[in-house]
Amino acid sequence: MSNCLKISFILIGIILISTQWGYGQNRVAGIVRDGLSGELLIGANVIDPIKKAGTATDNNGFFSLVMDRGSDSLLITYVGYAPVSVLLISGKDSILNVYLQPGEDIEEVEVVAFKRNQFNESSLTNIELNNIPSIGSEPDVLKTLQLLPGIQATNEGSSNLTIRGGGPGENLFLFDNVPLYYVNHLGGFVSVFNPDMINNVRVLKGGFPAKYGGKLSSVIDISMREGNPSKLTGTAGIGVMGINGTVEGPINEKTTYLISARKTFTELLLGTVTAIADDNYILTYGFYDLNGKITWRPDSRNKVQFALYAGDDQLVFRTLDRDQKMRYKNKWGNVLLSTAWKRILSPKAYMNHTLSTTRYRVKDLRSYRLPDTNNGDNMFRSNYLSSVQDVTLKSDFRYRILRGWSLDLGIQMSYLLFNPNKYWKTSEQDVPIVPAIHALESAMYLENHISLGKHIDLNLGLRGTHYLAEDILESNLEPRLDLSISVIESQVLNASYMKGSQFAHMVFSSGSFFNNEVWVPTDAGMKPAEVVQYSLGWKGDFATGMISVELDVYKKEMSNLVAYRDGFANLRGDTNWKSKLEIGGSGKSEGFELFVRKNRGLWTGFTSYAYSHTTRQFDNINQGRKFVFDYDRPHCFSLDINRKINEQWNVNAVWVYQTGLPYTPAIAHYYVPVTGEHPAQYNYEALLFGERNSERMRSYHRLDVGVNYITETKKGRKATWTFSVYNLYSRRNPYFYYYGEQPMNEFLLPEDGSYHALKLYQFSFFPLIPSVSFKMEF
């Protein structure tokens, strides 16, 4: 028998088996929502009570389930909501809209056979996000995620994330399925994600499905809330940094809206303080966020959404001297617009189409006016711009073939426009022309979700990418594999493998403390960055779900990385920005992560520990030798304890310990002569540095405490006071190290040729910081 004939018989057999499996089954699909606000419930359990099997709702609140004809009902449960049982029509496929009523706990409902365990994934509940103390007493999603294993900050107080040894620019931030390139305010101390807009947050640290791509290290998938369909509601709040407000409600019976905004009043405070302290200049800084979302549901199967995000930071410095005027304006931020159409095609099929545009840019405007007795005033101006714009169209489909087999497939096309380094100044006669770089990045993916009985779950996927720019053409295939095996009830083992690629690279610019992120594309002579990651994991539940434990081990290899060359800290200057970059670097990271959580009771919380070792290697950095990654912290430990005292009072405490960051030590100190027309003079000092990142700063640890008090105003409106203390015992954690003869002094000029020994000092940012905020609902 020929091979072709054998393959034909196999295919026919598969079709016949599929037909038999489909016979005598009902297909049920639907959306699960909060019965009061209409908000999507993500991760709600949908259970066949007879077979003790089921599924969970996805990020769209959607579920699809195949049931035997003997099953005549569905049980839908979600923690904190009353369970709902839905009767089904025998022998008929159904599409449901399910509304759960909040206010009841369902701890007595225990169905574990169908439970789908997600590995390489971190998440926190909304209660934890709001209770964990932070600077300014305002919840910050990215800072809270840093308490989970494998997720770290670049520096103290920063929202920049390094995940499993990856750089801050290797994380894919999706805001309602739309990529966002810049996610920080205040140099990283505050994230752009307004907590009032957030419905759900998922962080995939590796092994992510084939539908995600374009970044090496992680996916941070953040979904926005929808407006309240029943009545006008909102919140208003004030804290030490600024004010915020949210308004939502129905436009008509099929359309809702949600608008939220934040604004600092630091401009007035900082400007006043600097004007009083020094009558020669004024310094102001502030930021704002604006979110909006309109949802239109023409019928039970269709939903159309329009979303907006706009946010900017602005730093302004100007002198008050009439004779020598100077003005420096630094502005950076995002604009995002999107529209999405989601449709339930049938009980077996679901689709989601999204069209979006995102723009991130940094602007630096400077002007000087100097007096000139011969020619009048001299005016000097400069203008620097770095930007990236992304226009993306993506379509995702889900199709449930059999009870244990569903198929996800999709296509994505992105038009990218880069301006890495556009610079102009009045002193140049011929303004350099810096052409923008146009690129087209496209991808297709296919995922197979297969459940073999109650004990084996398999996600087998393949992602194909294609990148086209002026002088480069690249194509890649990225296989993905995720296998989970239930050894015994509530004990699951997992193995995953993934390959990924990244075509846009983020490099840090130290030209300004605030705008330190610039994006550059893969261009001629460069290769896309790539990653291969392997992981093994175990999850277990104990005491009927009271305690959850997770252990993960991973190994990660990265190639074609990009960094600044030695001697460069930004792209400004000439137009040849590629000459300032070191390309073709490699990186390795390996480690293990432990996470233990107590889920119920008056005392709740979690503890996490992660060990990792991460290195980098470039041909022309550190003499080509491997060195420790700039943000490598081998040991990271966090402990969160929450105590609900009563319905009004809640107390939370967080303790964090981390190994100190690496730094490059100075091994010699010498004088540098300046030569010219006059005899040589030894008039300044310099340091000779040793092996890159061969020493470490002091270890980092701190204790944060927060208290929430829930009360009512005189008009019966719910209000929350939040009191918090950051770094309760005022630990002086190092932000950076520096050398000098005295603290915070520059090197002294030698006058008599004597040698001055230098000492190593540390600079610390955050002492004990108390704060308070107030929020009222209406």
The larger pLDDT score, comparing residue 127 to residue 457, is at 457
The verdict on 374 and 433 lying in the same domain is yes
- Is the same domain home to 262 and 390? yes
Mean pLDDT of 161-182: 91
Element housing 28 (H / E): strand 25-34
Residue 13: inside a domain = no
Q: Could you report the per-residue pLDDT of 694-751, keeping only the tens digit for each? A: 999 999 999 999 999 999 888 888 888 989 999 999 999 998 888 877 676 555 555 5
Which residue, of 59, 84, 115, is where some domain finishes? Answer: 115
C-alpha 33/C-alpha 37 separation (Å) is 8
Please give the Cα distance from 24 to 26 (Å, whole number): 7
Looking at the structure, tell me whether residues 218 and 312 fall in a common domain: no
The pLDDT, as a whole number, for residue 224 is 87
User: How many structural domains compose the chain?
Assistant: 3
For every residue of 125-194, which 3-state class applies, written as one string?
Answer: CHHHHHHCCCHHHCCCHHHHHCCCCCEEECCCCCCCEEECCCCHHHEEEEECCCEECCCEEHHHCEECCC
Q: Which residue has the higher pLDDT, 214 or 15?
A: 214
> What's 46's domain CATH number?
2.60.40.1120
Residues 144 and 191 in one domain: yes
Task: Report the C-alpha gap between 614 and 628 in whole angstroms.
Answer: 6
Q: How far apart are CA 362 and CA 728, in angstroms?
A: 36
pLDDT above 60 for 554: yes
Q: What is the per-residue pLDDT across 39-89, written as a single tens digit (0 to 9) for each?
A: 788 778 887 777 666 788 887 788 887 776 667 778 888 877 888 888 777
Residue 726 lies in a domain: yes
202 shares a domain with 103? no
Instruction: Establish if 2 belongs to a structural domain.
Output: no
Lowest mean pLDDT among 73-77, 92-96, 478-482, 665-669: 92-96
Domain boundary among 73, 95, 115: 115
Q: Of 2-16, 36-50, 212-226, 733-747, which gets the smallest average pLDDT?
A: 2-16
Domain that holds residue 259: 224-749+763-777
DSSP 8-class letter at 749? P
In a domain, 15, yes or no: no
List pLDDT tens digits, range 649-691: 999 999 999 999 999 998 887 777 666 555 555 566 778 888 9
- Percent of residues in the chain assigned helix, strand, coil, to nearest 5: 10, 60, 35
Reduce the DSSP state of residue 268 to 3 states and report it.
helix
Determine which helix (DSSP H) or strand (DSSP E) holds 6, and give its type and residue range.
Answer: helix 3-22
pLDDT value at 108 more than 90: no
Question: Does residue 257 form part of some domain?
Answer: yes
Here the tokens at position 32 are 């699960």
pLDDT of 112 reads 41
- Give residue 511's pLDDT: 42
Q: Please indicate whether residue 312 or residue 766 has the higher confidence score (pLDDT).
A: 312
- Return the CATH number at 203: 2.170.130.10
Name residue 241's beta-bridge partners.
Answer: none
Q: In degrees rounded to 5, what are phi and psi of residue 140?
A: -130, 115
> What is the band of 338 on the pLDDT scale with cuts at 50, 70, 90?
very high
8 Å CB contact between 24 and 68: yes
Q: Are residues 464 and 609 in the same domain?
A: yes
Would 478 be classed as within a structural domain?
A: yes
- Would 9 be classed as within a structural domain? no
Q: Quick one: 433 and 566 in the same domain?
A: yes
Question: Does residue 7 belong to any structural domain of this protein?
Answer: no
Mean pLDDT of 178-206: 83
C-alpha separations of 443 from 250, 446, 478, 500 in Å: 37, 10, 10, 12
CATH of the domain at 542: 2.40.170.20
Both 190 and 75 in one domain: the answer is no
Q: Are 208 and 357 contained in the same domain? A: no
User: Are 235 and 384 part of one and the same domain?
Assistant: yes
CA dihedral 195, 201, 206, 207 (to 10 degrees): -160
183 and 56 both lie in a single domain: no
The predicted structure's pLDDT at residue 584: 93
Q: Of 49, 39, 51, which Cα lies nearest the Cα of 98? A: 39
Show which of 223, 241, 260 is a domain's final residue: 223
CB distance 192 to 311 below 8 Å? yes
Contact 549, 542 (CB under 8 A): yes
463 and 499 share a domain? Answer: yes
Token pair, residue 434, equals: 């810096």
User: Strand 517-521 relative to strand 504-508: parallel, antiparallel, unpaired?
Assistant: antiparallel
